[in-house]
Structure 1
Amino acid sequence: MSMIGILLRVTAIELEAFRTDSSLLIEKLNNEEEPNLIDIDKAWAGIIFLIDKQTIYDGPDSILFGRRVIDRKQDLGYGPAYYFIPDQVKESNERILRISEEELRNNYDAKAMMEAEVYPEIWEDEEAGFNYLLSFFKKVQSFYAKASSNNEAIITFLN
Structure 2
Amino acid sequence: MSMNGEFLRLTPGELARALEDPAWAWDFAADVQEQEDEETRPAEARHFTTHQTWHLLDFLLKRLAFPVDITYGEEPIPGADDWGYEPPRYLTDERVRLAAEKLDRMTYDELIRGVDHTELATAEVYPQIWDSRSSLEWAGDVFPDLTEFFQSAASADHAILIWLD
TM over 0.5: yes
Matched, 1:5 2:5: yes
Matched, 1:39 2:46: no
Give how far 1:71 is off: 3.3
Aligned length: 154
Matched, 1:103 2:103: no
In structure 1, list runs of 5 or more residues that go unmatched: none
Of 106, 115, 122, 1:115 maps to 122
Cα RMSD for the two superposed structures: 2.0
Q: Distance in 1 between matches of 2:107 and 2:9?
A: 23
Where does 1:124-139 land on structure 2 (aligned, <5 Å)?
Answer: 124-127=131-134, 129-139=135-145
| Higher mean displacement: 43-52 or 105-114 | 105-114
For 1:10, the aligned partner's letter is L
Identity %: 29
- Could you tell me the TM-score, scaled by structure 1's length? 0.88
Specify the SS of the correspondent of 1:9: strand
| Higher mean displacement: 65-74 or 4-13 | 65-74
- Could you tell me the TM-score, scaled by structure 2's length? 0.85
- Give runs of ≥4 in structure 1 deviating > 4 Å: none
Please say if residues 52 and 63 of structure 1, whose CA atoms lie closer than 8 Å, have aligned partners that are also in contact. Answer: no
Residues 21-44 of structure 1, C-alpha deviations (whole Å, 9 max, x = no match):
001111112210144101211100
| Higher mean displacement: 61-70 or 129-138 | 61-70
In structure 2, list runs of 5 or more residues that go unmatched: 37-44
Residues 82-114 of structure 1, C-alpha deviations (whole Å, 9 max, x = no match):
100000000011111111233123053211111
Residue aligning to 1:142: 148
